[in-house]
Amino acid sequence: MFWWISYALLPERWISLFAISGIALGLLADTFILKSLIKRAYQLGTAFWLAVLLFYSVGTFGFFMGVPVFNAALALPAGFVVGGKLVYEAADGVQVRRASLRTCILTTGLMVLVCVSSAFFALTSPSTSSDLRGMLGLGFEVTRVMIWGLILVGGAGLLAVNWALTGLSVRLTHRFLHKV
């Protein structure tokens, strides 16, 4: 945040100082605030964790310029939080399965929105064919049908990976933390 603000508002010679200051302030905040937050992380409501997931999902989508592949990685921390909360609440096997299913539905629903947004940008941009050709070093022309195929097959694959990562993350976290 400090880098973007300094980049937009300050002369170039001050940018590195502000960027380093932002990192230092972030580390200090982590030292004093994050420690207490972690101790009561599982007491925080679902709305808080959903807001965190949405924030990182939008950030990941923007950082990787609309390529949705990396958003699937967010299934892991989502499952970790839910699995840890289930241990904190001393959930039984049925509750773990239900919570895992709900979390899979939630994260995969969010991934559907990410994939639809990505598909919209890919289909409306006139440079998608040349972008794919250059990015992947392809020696042939990328057609509209190929783009549709990539969207449909790749999107379905991403949804399946997201579902699997979420479910595994919830169950493995619960199993690991339950034994600790």
Range in 38-47, 70-79, 84-93, 95-104 the model is least confident about: 38-47
- Residue 165: pLDDT band (50, 70, 90) is very high
What residue has token string 């200090």? Answer: 28
Task: For residues 167 and 43, give the distance between their C-alpha atoms in angstroms, rounded to a whole number.
Answer: 21
H-helix segments, the chain: 2-9, 12-29, 35-39, 46-63, 75-88, 93-124, 128-136, 144-179
Is 1's pLDDT higher than 80? no
Q: Are residues 22 and 59 in the same domain?
A: no
Amino acid identity of residue 31, one-letter, is: T
- Residue 136's pLDDT is 86
Give the pLDDT mean for 77-105: 92
Q: Are residues 5 and 51 in the same domain?
A: no
8 A C-beta contact, residue 118 and residue 68: yes
Q: Are residues 24 and 47 in the same domain?
A: no
Give the pLDDT mean for 13-33: 83
- Residue 9's pLDDT is 81
Q: Are residues 34 and 113 in the same domain?
A: no
- Residue 180: pLDDT band (50, 70, 90) is low
Provide the CA 165 distance to its chain's centre, in angstroms: 12
Q: Are residues 24 and 58 in the same domain?
A: no
Structure token pair of residue 157: 């694959």
Residue in 172, 62, 71 with CA at minimum distance from that of residue 112? 71
State pLDDT tens for residues 101-121: 999 999 999 999 999 999 999
Q: Are residues 21 and 55 in the same domain?
A: no
Greater confidence (131 vs 3) lies with 131
Is 99's pLDDT higher than 70? yes
Q: Are residues 161 and 103 in the same domain?
A: yes
Is 100's pLDDT higher than 80? yes
Q: Are residues 61 and 85 in the same domain?
A: yes
Domain encompassing residue 88: 43-179
Q: Are residues 63 and 130 in the same domain?
A: yes
- Residue 74: pLDDT band (50, 70, 90) is very high
Q: Are residues 130 and 110 in the same domain?
A: yes
Is 4's pLDDT higher than 80? no
Total of domains in the chain = 2
Q: Are residues 104 and 157 in the same domain?
A: yes
Q: Are residues 105 and 54 in the same domain?
A: yes
Which run of H or E residues covers position 170? helix 144-179
8 A C-beta contact, residue 117 and residue 66: yes
